[in-house]
Amino acid sequence: MKSINSLSFISSQIKKILSFIEAHYHESITVERIAEEVYLSPSRLSHIIKDELGITLTECISKLRVDKAKNLLREKELPISKIAIEVGYPDQSYFTKVFKKVEKCTPKTFREKAF
């Protein structure tokens, strides 16, 4: 996912949504929490994300978290389990599953290729 500022073609609502996700990616984020923050209904928020970005809200959050994890995997010698928690996943197993879906490789394999 590109940085929020480089997405000049998107609406101000999407920018607010992405800014909120960027600020809170390491926490448990629900569509209801984001919708409340940007004054939309959860269903309207989901539709806006899908219409403007072409992906679901879950995919959007996953991509941002995986991007953050990739930076940590490149820069730090933190255990993968700690990286999972830092980017908002409750456990390494689920983090690995999402990472593999987004990147087509495991975090361990990504780290090995990065060095």
Structural domains of the chain, ranges and CATH numbers in brackets:
10-61 (1.10.10.60), 62-114 (1.10.10.60)
Question: Which amino acid is located at 64 in the chain?
Answer: L
For residues 25 and 65, the answer to whether their CB atoms sit within 8 Å is: yes
Dist CA 66 CA 72 (whole Å): 10
Q: What is the pLDDT along the chain (115 residues), one digit of tens a residue?
A: 444 444 455 688 899 999 999 999 999 999 999 999 999 999 999 999 999 999 999 999 999 999 999 999 998 789 999 999 999 999 999 999 999 999 999 999 999 988 7
Task: Name the pTM for this structure.
Answer: 0.86
The rounded radius of gyration (Å) of the Cα atoms in the chain is 15
Dist CA 85 CA 9 (whole Å): 32
